[in-house]
Each structure stands twice: as structure tokens, then as C-alpha cells.
Amino acid sequence: MDNRKKKRGKTEGVTGIVFILCLVVVLVINLIVPDREKSGKEDRNLASFPAFSVESLLTGDFAEGVETYLKDQFAGRDLLRSLRVSLGKIGGNRLENGVYLGKNGQLLEDIQVPDSANLAANLEAIRSFAQSGQDIRVTMMLVPDAACILSDSLPAFASVEDQTQLFGMVQRQMGDSVTWIDTVSILNKYKNEKIYYKTDDRWTTLGAFYAFQESAQALGITDSVAEQFASYAVSGSFNGDLAAQCGAELGDSEEIDIYVPTLVDDDVVVTYVDEAQRTTSLYDSAALGTRDQYDVFLGGDRALTDIRTVSTGTGRLLVVKDSFANCFIPFLTPYFREIVVVDPVYYSGTIQDIMDTYRITDVLFLYSGNSFFTDNNISGVFTGGQSDQ
Amino acid sequence: MLFNSISFLFLFLPVAVIVYYIAPDRAKNGVMLAASILFYAWGEPVYVVLLVLSVLLNYFAGRDIGAKLEDPRRARLAVAFGVAANVAILAFFKYYGFLISQINLLLPEEIPYRELSVPLGLSIFTLQEISYLVDVYRGKAQVQKNPVNFALYAAMFPQILAGPVVRYSDMERQLEKRSVTARKAGQGAMLFITGLAKKAILANSLGKVFEQVAAMPTGSISALTAWIGCFSFALQIYFEFSGWSDMARGLARMFGFEFRKNFEHPYISRSITEFWRRWNISLVTWFREYVYLPMGGNRGTVSRNIFNMMVVWILTGMWHGASWNFIVWGVYCGIILVMEKYVWGESLDHLPGPVRRIYFIVLTLVGWVFFFSPSLGYSLRYLTAMIGAGAGFVDGEGGFLLLTHWLLYLAAAAAATPLAKAFAGQIMGISGNLRVRTAVTVTLYIGIFLVSAAFLVTDTYNPFLFRF
């Protein structure tokens, strides 16, 4: 063996030993590092070690469970994820786990296409409810997602479904059974302001405020609403769900604002019915200490929330909604004496129960496009049918 | 258990390697066999029984053939019986459901049947065992009397899931005697890391692009997007296969075994004939040795030779899976090979290099369309999309895919040609100083391993394509 070959042999030998050492060290570290229940960076629960049974061993479920467990509890998982996402970004990647990495750090959720049967059932349920002859004002507010309004921020060449067109189809099908609020036009007017979070899929309170301002009349609010609210920042360190979902922009921190009425009293009694909790604030400041800071609005998504106000208005409003509504509802408290909020994802009763119990006079459907088109619980709350979540 | 799983990398492998290195020489085969059975059972807890039965069957069939070698007629009968038994097992588990479903299409009545999932590695270990029986019959190998050694040959974990198909005559001596050195372990580790990176970083990322295109209705795929999809699949399947082969060879070398090279940069070929000398060499060789040549090969008339070639390529296609797309692909490959041999092969040689490359690339990509299409109709629609009849020539989707994966395609192109290896060689040869060299090499490989691990741990898309 000549000298060069010998040298190369030495290099190879060292590489082999280091490789095997690496495997052993990682194995030991994984054994030592304690398991985590939740991943903050990914905003989800992590798998725990699977329960063993002969059956699960024979079907291979056990092996699969172990693999998921090892992946989820892998030491340094968050770091490895950042490494992969950063490398992908360097390589040009702009679509990670359903999230577009847009210009200037703007994250945008991909526009979801509705499942036609599911959508038809939802629309039919809403229409027959609105036409059921009761003297109730039904308003529908579908909020476009950021990828629809901020299309300039989408990465180059990215093409998403035309959500405006989807909304137009829904509007046509609903006909004049509901009062339709054209949030697309409203938000388009303000697209240069910060009406969406950069790291979260939801609109900012500012976006909700503009939508409120321009839809107040349609909601039966006759007073002028201009100059009635003052905004305060309650957090400067918000990092949203989209960042967690795609693993990019996890270092970005954003502001969360709340809007408070300036001219009238805003005393409320908020009851979370299922949890049997009562509070006197629309805001849950404890949420600001968690990763889900958006939960500051109405304590996050709850099945059924009852808000009593000191408003001189006589209306009793039911809001059927997703989490976009959470920052919108505080604008309504000066104008309705009672607001009942229901989230069909969590609520197991029917709308009719609520209509009777609370003697509702007005109904508002408030959803973002993506959750409206993917939610398969909506028709269930009308028919009382089993939701298939 | 798969090489690209965390359970394998950070649980099975370190334990298996250390126990194996510590074990005394005479116990090494036993240790590796135990590890192999465990490895297989982890992924296939029920069919491991089939593996054991298949091994026992062939062990005794081999001894039977060996005992009858003096009498050619009886030996012939014995080998025929052994091969037939193996083919029957393969046919039952792999092709039975497909066959009945096709018969059901013709009959007015439905024959009820249960679609069996193909046992992992069945097509690998069956082919290997057949090679053993035939090699013993032909006198190319001795009967293996030691059941541990034989079982280790058939079920060795580095190659049991996806090959390469190792021939018994290549393994015979290594089973008796081989050495494990730090140098070999290092070479093995480097080869394994290379293969893992091909799978975890390149193949998985390319697969994602391909699946995105495949999910679109063919009528809305532009020519650009269709070609991107097809290129992505071609590169994905190459990195899946060759990555798996590299991992297998690397692991085998870490345990002292030497496999032949299975891929030799197939995409730099200039004809389909050349491609099949560079692609999955062990499989092609197996079909040549144990099907084509016994049928007469190219002896006899031209029409007989064409017949032999077509049979071999239909079988090769079917080996990849029990469905029509693989048969169509096999026929397609067979026809082109016949054409290159008898019709235009010679004129092809006179064409300028770039033209031959384009000829090769187009024919190969069209072949992959047949390979990945769920039906013949889909493949024809996809092919029309490739010539712009789907949704025009260029669209935003294609631009987006290119722009957001430029580095991936660059890396894939380098890794599919000898460029990447040359580049890595340049980096490692940066200094004449041994210590620097070693440090650079270790950093390079461990770095690649770390990135691969990052992909495997945190990306949910990690398919296993080789259920054959």
C-alpha cells in the first residue's frame, strides 16, 4: 500500500468512528432529555410513547407509534426544523406546509378550495334558516384571507385560487335571504395598512375595525361610529400560528391592539356557558403570557359565550363565527344589549335552542374564507345532526 | 424498519454496529442474522414468518439439489421444483390479487379475493434464493450447509428491503470469511451518508414537486409544468433507488460485506441500451443470468431473440409491481431496446453527442410517464400535456416551481452526474496536510448527515416506494 492510500485510509477510519460516535451520542441524549408535551414553536401537541399491546405490535401500529414518538421528541427538533426551513428558503422555497413565505416577511395561508358537497350543505342550512319566516335580520360577513387581499405580497409566480370568485358564488347562492357584506371591497381599500398580521392567518383589530366601520349600517347600527373608539397596544411580542405552521419568521414579533369605546360605558358581563365561567372583561390578559396571544380576545374560541352589555340598544345579536370574529365582537358591545357567540366547531347544541333561549333579534355569520370553506360543522348546528369533526 | 427512519438511525444502527464489532468473529454471522430478523420483523411483524419459511424451504432445496448433483436428471427436477416453489410464493403474494381483478373484469360473476399487501422485500429475497439454487445446480457455488450463513445471505438487513439483488456466488466466500476494519467502516459510513442524503434531501423534495404536479388535473398542466413534473419524477426515482443502493452497500461494508455497484450514473447515457447497463445493474444482471440466457439469449434466429428480449422486459416491468402501468413500461423499454439493437442502433452511433443525449432524455422521460401513471389513459393525457395540449406551454405554476426549487434542481443535476463527486473530492483534497484533510472530510460528511437528519426528523413527507 503506498503512502497516499494509507493516508486516505486514516481519514476514512476517523470519519467512520466519528459517525458511529454521533449515532451513539444522539441515542444517549434522546434517552436523557425529558419528553415535552407541547411544542410552542409548532403550536401542537407532541406524541408520547405508544402503549404496547401484542395486537398493536402485529399490525405495525406500535412500530409506527415509536417512530412518531422519536421524531416528535427528538432532542433539538426545533433547531433541526429551523435548519431545514432556512435551507429551503435559501434554495428558493416559498411554500412551506401550506403557507406562502411572501415578500417582506408576510406569511400567507394558501387559499382553500371548498368541498362542494359540504359547502352546498352549509349554504342550504344557512339559507333555509334565514328564510324560516322569523322576523330576524341575518347578515353574512365572509372575510377574505390575506392571500386574496395582499396578493402583491405573494411570492413571485405564486398563484392561488381566486377567493373573490368563490365569495361571489356564495353570495349568488344566498340571494337576498341574507344581508351580504362585501368585505373584499372594504379591505381592498385599506390593503396598504396593516390589516393582517404577518405571522398569523387572522386580520388585525385594525382590519376588523375598518370592516366594522363600513358595515355598521347593514348591522342595524344607526348611530355614527366614527371617532367612537380609541386603540391601545396590549402586546408587542405576538408571533402567530402561520409562523408556527411553516417554521419561518418565528423570530418576528408583532403588536396586538384593542379598541375601546371612548364615549359610552363599556361594562360587560361575559359568561362562557359550557365552562360556567363569568368575567367582566372581553379580554383575557392571561393569554398574553402564552404563545397564543390572539386568545386575548374573548379568551379564544369557546363553544358558547354570552355577553351582556349596558347598551341602550334593544337588539340581541347571535354571532356564528370562527376566530376572526373574536377581535370584531368588541366593536358591537355599545350597540346590542346582549351578544351570544357560538363557534360550531365546539358547540354541540342547535341554533334553534339559542334563538329560543336568548330571544335573538339579529344574526351575524362571520367567517374567514378558508375556515368557512373547510368547516364541516356549520350545517350540523342548524339540523342538530352529528358534526363530523 | 427503513433506513430513512429515526428508529433505524438512532436506535437500531448504533446498537447493532457496536454489538457486532464487540462480538467474536465466529459469532458475527449469528449476531447479524438476529439483527436482520429483528429489523425485518419491526416493519413486517406478520410476514416475518413467510421470510423464515422461505429461507428454510431454500436451505433444504439447496441441500437436496446438492445431494443429487451426481444425477443430472434428478438434480434438474430438484432445481425445477425449488424455483417453481419460489415463483409460486412470489406469484401468490404479489400477483394473485391483480390476476383475479383482471379475470373479474372479463367474467360476469365476481370472484371474491383478498388484496394482500406485498410482503416487504419479497421480490428481493425470492430472486436471491433462486440465484442460489441455480448457482448450486450449475456448480458455480457450493451447497451452504450452515443454516445461519444461508439465512444471513437471504435476509441480510442492508439489502433485504430494496436490494441490490446480490447473487449467491458473490457472497459465498464473504459469508465464511471477511474482515472488519476501521477503514472499511469509514468507507461504509461515507457511502451510507451519501445514500441517506440522496433519499432524505433530494428524493423526498423532488417527490413533493412531482406529487404536486400529479395532483393537478391533466387538462390544466402546462407543457412547462408537465416537464418539470416528469423531470422531478425521473430524478426522484433515481435518488430513491441509487440512494437506497448506496445505503445498502455502505451498511454492508460497515459489517464487512462487499456488494457490487448497482448504479453507474445512468442519466449520462446516450442510448436506452447504455442506460440499462448503468441502471439497477444487479437486477438487470439477474434477469440476464437466470431468464434471458437460459431462454437462449441471442443465439438462434432474430425473431427468437426479439421474443426473448420482450419476455425479459415484460417480466422486469412486472417485477416493479403488479399493475398495468409497469407492464406497459416494460413493453416500452423492450421495444426500444429491440429497436436500438436491430433498427436504429447503428445510425444512432453516428449522430452528434448532444442529439443522442436529447434522444435518450426524451425517451427515458416518456418511459417514466408510463411508469408513474395510474392508467394508460392518464399517461396519454399527461404526454399530450407535455407537448402543450393541456394548458398551453408556460404558466405561473411552472415558473413558481422552478423559481422555488432552483437549488434543488442544481444539486440534483450535480448528484446525478459525476459532478458532485468531483466537487466533493476537490473540497476534501483542499490541503495536503493529513489532519486538515481529515477534519474537512469529517465536517463535510457529518454536516451532510446532520442536514439529512433535519429533513427526516421534521418533514412529514418520507415515502417508501419499494413495496415489491
* Joined grid coordinates for residue B75: 438434480
Question: Which residue is catalytic, options B265, B320, B350, B405?
Answer: B320
Distance from CA of A26 to the nearest CA of B (A): 7
Percent of chain A with pLDDT over 90: 69
Which residues of chain B are within 8 Å of residue A158 when distances are taken between CB atoms? 396, 400
Q: Which one of B14, B396, B406 has the shortest CB-CB distance to A20?
A: B14
Nearest CA in chain A to B21: A20
Exposure class string for B13-52: b at 16+ Cβ within 10 A, else e: bbebbeebeeeeeeebbebbbebbbebbbbbbbebbeebb
Which residues of chain B are within 8 Å of residue A67 when distances are taken between CB atoms? 5-7
- B400–A155 C-beta distance less than 8 A: yes
Reported as a pLDDT band with limits 50, 70 and 90, residue B157 is very high
| B residues 416-435 closer than 8 Å to A (CB) | 428, 434
Q: Are strands A277-279 and A268-272 parallel, antiparallel or unpaired?
A: antiparallel
User: How many CB atoms are located within 10 Å of the residue A135 CB?
Assistant: 5
Out of A251-265, B184-198, B249-263, B272-286, which region has the weakest mean confidence (pLDDT)?
A251-265
Q: Which one of B10, B42, B397 has the shortest CB-CB distance to A30?
A: B10
Mutate to test the interface with B, among A4, A5, A22 (most CBs of B within 10 A): A22
Which is it for the CA torsion A27, A32, A36, A42, positive or negative? negative
* SS3 letters across B227-267: HHHHHHHHHHHHHHHHHHHHHHHHHHHHCCCCCCCCCCCHH
User: Is the pLDDT confidence value at A376 over 60?
Assistant: yes
Check if B42 contacts A (Cβ < 8 Å): yes
Of residues A3 and B277, the one with the higher pLDDT is B277
Which residues of chain A are within 8 Å of residue B44 when distances are taken between CB atoms? 60
pLDDT at position A388? 42
| A residues 224-283 closer than 8 Å to B (CB) | 247
Torsion angle, alpha carbons of B220, B225, B231, B234, to 10: -20
Q: Which one of B7, B181, B185 has the shortest CB-CB distance to A67?
A: B7
User: Is the pLDDT confidence value at A5 over 70?
Assistant: no
User: Is the pLDDT confidence value at A384 over 70?
Assistant: no
Q: Which one of A12, A30, A83 has the shortest CB-CB distance to B454?
A: A83
Which residues of chain A are within 8 Å of residue B184 when distances are taken between CB atoms? 16
Task: Compute CA distances B174 → B115, B169, B256, B466, whole Å.
Answer: 39, 10, 8, 27
Would you say A159 and B400 are in contact if contact means Cβ atoms under 8 Å apart? yes
Residue with cell 388484496: B115
Mean pLDDT of chain B: 92
User: Is the pLDDT confidence value at B14 over 90?
Assistant: yes
| B residues 395-414 closer than 8 Å to A (CB) | 396-397, 399-400, 403-408
pLDDT at position A2? 56
pLDDT at position B396? 85
Of residues A83 and B431, the one with the higher pLDDT is A83
Q: Which one of A15, A26, A91 has the shortest CB-CB distance to B407?
A: A91
Which residues of chain A are within 8 Å of residue B408 when distances are taken between CB atoms? 91
User: Is the pLDDT confidence value at A271 over 60?
Assistant: yes
| B residues 435-464 closer than 8 Å to A (CB) | 437-438, 441-442, 445-446, 449-451, 453-459
CA distance B107 to B105: 6
Which residues of chain B are within 8 Å of residue A87 when distances are taken between CB atoms? 451, 454
Reported as a pLDDT band with limits 50, 70 and 90, residue A202 is very high
- B396–A158 C-beta distance less than 8 A: yes
Using alpha carbons, select from B313, B270, B318 the residue that is nearest to residue B95. B318
CA distance A192 to A151: 11
CA distance B184 to B180: 7
Using alpha carbons, select from A208, A238, A205, A285 the residue that is nearest to residue A107. A238
Count CA atoms closer than 13 A to A233's CA, side-chain side.
7
Check if A291 contacts B (Cβ < 8 Å): no
pLDDT at position A386? 46
A to B CB pairs, distance under 8 Å: 156
Within chain A, where are the H helices? 3-32, 54-59, 61-72, 77-90, 116-130, 146-149, 163-174, 183-189, 205-215, 241-246, 351-358, 369-374, 378-383
User: Is the pLDDT confidence value at B444 over 90?
Assistant: yes
Percent of chain A with pLDDT over 70: 96
- B182–A16 C-beta distance less than 8 A: yes
pLDDT at position B97? 86
pTM listed for this prediction: 0.90
pLDDT in tens, A149-176: 999 999 999 989 999 999 999 999 998 8
Residue with cell 377574505: A144
pLDDT in tens, B232-281: 999 999 999 999 999 999 999 999 999 999 999 999 999 999 999 999 99
CA distance A307 to A337: 8
Using alpha carbons, select from A369, A314, A315, A382 the residue that is nearest to residue A342. A382
CA distance B149 to B257: 13
Count CA atoms closer than 13 A to A370's CA, side-chain side.
18
pLDDT at position A312? 85
- B1–A74 C-beta distance less than 8 A: no
User: Is the pLDDT confidence value at B356 over 60?
Assistant: yes
- B13–A12 C-beta distance less than 8 A: no
Active site residue B350: no
* Joined grid coordinates for residue B458: 421534521
Check if B11 contacts A (Cβ < 8 Å): yes
Mean pLDDT of B46-74: 93
CA distance A375 to A389: 9
Distance from CA of B446 to the nearest CA of A (A): 7
CB neighbour class for A237 (10 Å; exposed up to 12, middle 13-18, buried from 19) = exposed
Out of A349-353, B196-200, B329-333, which region has the weakest mean confidence (pLDDT)?
A349-353
pLDDT at position A385? 55
Mean pLDDT of B142-164: 92
Q: Is A49 helix (H, G, I), strand (E, B) or coil?
A: coil
pLDDT at position A100? 96
Percent of chain B with pLDDT over 70: 100
Q: Which one of A15, A16, A67 has the shortest CB-CB distance to B6?
A: A67
| 3-state helix, strand and coil shares in percent for chain A, rounded to the nearest 5 | 40, 20, 40
Of residues A375 and B116, the one with the higher pLDDT is A375
Residue with cell 348546528: A381
User: Is the pLDDT confidence value at A195 over 50?
Assistant: yes
- B458–A30 C-beta distance less than 8 A: no
User: Is the pLDDT confidence value at B113 over 60?
Assistant: yes
Check if A44 contacts B (Cβ < 8 Å): no
Give φ, ψ of B407 to 5 degrees. -70, -40
- B11–A70 C-beta distance less than 8 A: yes
Residues contacting B155, CB < 8 A, separation 6+: B33, B36, B37, B40, B51, B55, B125
Check if A92 contacts B (Cβ < 8 Å): yes
CA angle A229, A233, A234 (to 5 degrees): 115
Out of A277-291, B105-119, B135-149, B442-456, which region has the weakest mean confidence (pLDDT)?
B105-119
β-bridge partners, A307: A270, A339
Torsion angle, alpha carbons of B327, B333, B334, B339, to 10: 150
